[in-house]
Amino acid sequence: MFRQFGKKRPVAEVRRPIFVVGCGRSGTTLLFDLLKCHPDLVPTKGFPDGEDHVGWIRHGGALISGLANPNNDSGHVGHHFCLHMDESDVTPDIRRSMHRYYVKEVLGERIEARVVNKCPHISNKLRYVVGIFPDARIVHIVREPVPMVASWVKVMQAVPDLVLFWPDSEYPCLWVLPAGDALGHRNCFAREPRIFPGGGLLRLADYWTEVNRNIPRQLADMPNRLLTIRYEDLVAEPAKLLRQVTDFCELEPFADIPVSIAPDRNSAWSSLISEDDICAIRARCADVAESLGYPRHTLER
């Protein structure tokens, strides 16, 4: 199908792309790895694990900041800042560029196929995403806050030259900044309460709370575009959860689970967080966690 974007000649239109969003370290990669095995879906590429920062920035004008896998030269991809965007930031040229990019470079002209992309850094830009792809389906995966924070601690240990900044804004997302080599710079970062590690693990708890609160908030008037699932349910009952996802995305169900799933990743790095920090994280996140179906007694134990 071809669509007119502005006054320029029509370009092929990408139909019903699927976007996996949520906090980083919440199972977005696992869900993406499962979905990209579907015969009707074509995954995006790029650091890390298919997030396609370069495609979003170069073709969509997205203001995103992300971490690459630790074996990348810098560990950083995109801008240092990650800003909220909505439909007012979408122009005909941006729509045209993103559709052309997905058709030519992702689908390889297979316009009957569908794109699947996972990128936690568009979690505060969902109106912008829908402005580009009006029939998009968005799958939000959420994970218990303590293991998500522990996983971030592990990642940041692997990229000591970077720090995370938590902005004071309506739809925030983590910014990724260079820590610098000078001892004085590091001391300044260590005193700054809105930076991790200086501000402590509660900065990451705030990230969990605000991102997971704001994903449904952005799409409150179009709830049929959004499906929220829990990482723990996906790990415990992958066939059931995958069927829920494929039904939502209007895909044929998987005959078999295409990727092996580790049974208990939530405890993998729990030793990196003290009991006091665990209690503080759970208290900080309790209201939003309960709204997402995590029983309060499990958060307070």
Asked if residue 250 is part of any domain, the answer here is yes
Asked if residue 4 is part of any domain, the answer here is no
Residue with tokens 């590091």: 186
Question: Could you give the number of structural domains in the chain?
Answer: 1
Rounded CA separation 163/196 (Å): 6
Asked if residue 143 is part of any domain, the answer here is yes
In this structure, the number of other CB atoms found within 10 A of the CB of residue 184 comes to 8
Rounded CA separation 97/101 (Å): 6
Helix (H) or strand (E) holding 208: helix 202-218
Structural domain harbouring 253: 14-300
For the segment 241-300, what is each residue's pLDDT rounded down to a tens digit?
Answer: 999 999 999 999 998 888 888 777 777 777 889 999 999 999 999 999 999 999 875 554
User: Residue 3: what pLDDT?
Assistant: 55
Q: State how beta strands 65-67 and 2-3 pair.
A: unpaired
277 Cβ partners below 8 Å, 6+ apart? Answer: 200, 201
Global pTM reads 0.93
Asked if residue 8 is part of any domain, the answer here is no
Asked if residue 142 is part of any domain, the answer here is yes
Asked if residue 144 is part of any domain, the answer here is yes
Q: Which residues of 245-274 are buried (b: 16+ CB within 10 A; e: fewer)?
A: bbebbebeebeeeeeeeeeebbeebeeebe
Asked if residue 275 is part of any domain, the answer here is yes
User: Residue 242: what pLDDT?
Assistant: 96
Asked if residue 181 is part of any domain, the answer here is yes
- Give 10-residue mean pLDDT values along the chain (301 residues): 52 92 96 95 90 95 85 77 98 96 92 95 98 98 96 90 94 92 76 91 97 98 97 94 97 88 76 92 96 75 48
User: Residue 2: what pLDDT?
Assistant: 43
CATH number at residue 139: 3.40.50.300
275 half-sphere exposure, CB direction, 13 A CA radius: 1
Q: State how beta strands 137-142 and 18-21 pair.
A: parallel
In this structure, the number of other CB atoms found within 10 A of the CB of residue 170 comes to 10
